[in-house]
Amino acid sequence: MPAPDASPQCPEGGVRLLEAGGDAAMGLRVEGFQLLNCGTEEYVLEGYPEVTPRDGRGDRPEVAVVHGASEITTGVPDIEAPPQRVVLAPGQAAAWSVVWRNLVTDPSVPATTVTALEVVPRPDAPRLRLDLTRPLDLGNTGKLGTGPWTAVAR
């Protein structure tokens, strides 16, 4: 478990976004993320993160961000799980994932690539930005599914 970190590198709000890796098969993509409590107090999460995708220019592409995977696929347990309350002690992390299909269904519509995510972890929390080391290649289907916060095994 990471040690609590109250250094200047801990963003306002006491939490930091991290990439956690992903999986891709036959056009279906799943990417995982974590929210680390780098502050000195408990951090409580409920429901889903508020996610705003950003392209290479910093603009918000025309992408619908939906809760769960049902509008995209089935059989993704982490994304289809019911929301739960997650309490993070300093140094603990919560996970969440996104799912999409990398398909080009209309050659007249440009494919979308997301290079950053802006996330509001809970209501009234500061917006966090995560520049992705592996951009999300959304094709032109226009949908990104998000899973709920889940506790990371301690």
Ordered per-residue pLDDT tens for the chain, 154 residues:
444 444 458 988 999 999 998 877 667 899 999 999 999 999 999 999 999 999 999 999 999 999 999 888 887 877 888 999 999 999 999 999 999 998 888 888 889 999 999 999 999 999 999 999 999 999 888 899 999 999 997 6
Whether the predicted model's global pTM rises above the 0.85 cut? yes
User: What pLDDT, on a 0 to 100 scale, did the predictor assign at position 154?
Assistant: 64
3-state secondary structure of 84: coil
- Non-local CB neighbours of 53 within 8 Å, separated by 6+ positions: 60, 61, 63, 65, 114, 116, 117, 136, 138, 144
Residue 141 corresponds to which tokens in the numbers above? Answer: 């289907």
